[in-house]
Structure 1
Amino acid sequence: MAKSANVYARIEPEIKEQAEKILSTLGIPASNAINMFYKQIILQRGLPFEGKIPDRTPTDISVLETEELHIELEKGYADRKAGRTKDAKTVFSDLHKDYGL
């Protein structure tokens, strides 16, 4: 099929530069990447990734005052006692999925 349709989009220059640098390393022109994205939308019958707002962001304990840290530790202890825990493999898998780490 001949490529005859144009897509015009305005994006942040830094985002464009970073993405095109990665695509260049992979040897994929931006137009091919956009075409691949559109094909995935068709195949998935929606966005090919989960578009959601996280319930909350992880707590950065390095910025907490001593009392705030104790409160967070108490929450963790209470969760442990109540059986609201996950094994490490599941936690790391969730972090990778939810935050792209």
Structure 2
Amino acid sequence: MVHVRVDEKIKAQATETLAAMGLSVSDAVRVFLMRVVADKQMPFALKVPNAETRAAMDEADEIARTRRARFGAASELFNDLEKNSGQ
């Protein structure tokens, strides 16, 4: 079982597009994973991140460097995120 967090709009669009091909989202994920295993690589080209993405990655690296947050379980991470989200 694989759980993936995806924006609802993207999921709906992907579901519709895949259905037109005769596939479900689960079928597409299985095909993707089978290609990764068979080819020992991503089934598409990965590109250098743009400036906005690179800045976000740098920010995340800095947060990890300065806070050094480590969690023993996913629930601890989610609790910390909720506590520090300001909500």
TM range (shorter): 0.5 to 0.7
Task: Give structure 1 stretches of 5+ with no counterpart.
Answer: 1-5, 57-101
RMSD between aligned residues: 1.8
| Aligned residue number for residue 36 of structure 1 | 31
Greater RCO between the two (CA within 8 Å, min separation 6)? Answer: 1
Count of aligned positions: 51
Tell me which stretches of 4 or more aligned residues in structure 1 moved more than 6 Å.
none
Q: CA deviation at 1:27?
A: 1.2
> In 2, Cα distance between the equivalents of 1:8 and 1:55?
28
TM-score (norm 2): 0.52
SS in 1 for 2:34: helix
The reply to whether residue 50 of structure 1 matches residue 62 of structure 2 is no
> In 2, Cα distance between the equivalents of 1:18 and 1:25?
11
TM-score (norm 1): 0.46
| Aligned residue number for residue 23 of structure 1 | 18
Q: CA deviation at 1:54?
A: 6.6
> In 2, Cα distance between the equivalents of 1:7 and 1:55?
29
The amino acid across from 1:17 in the alignment is: A
- Which deviates the most, 32-41 or 45-54? 45-54
- Greater Rg, structure 1 or structure 2? 1
| Aligned residue number for residue 66 of structure 1 | none
Task: Give structure 2 stretches of 5+ with no counterpart.
Answer: 52-87
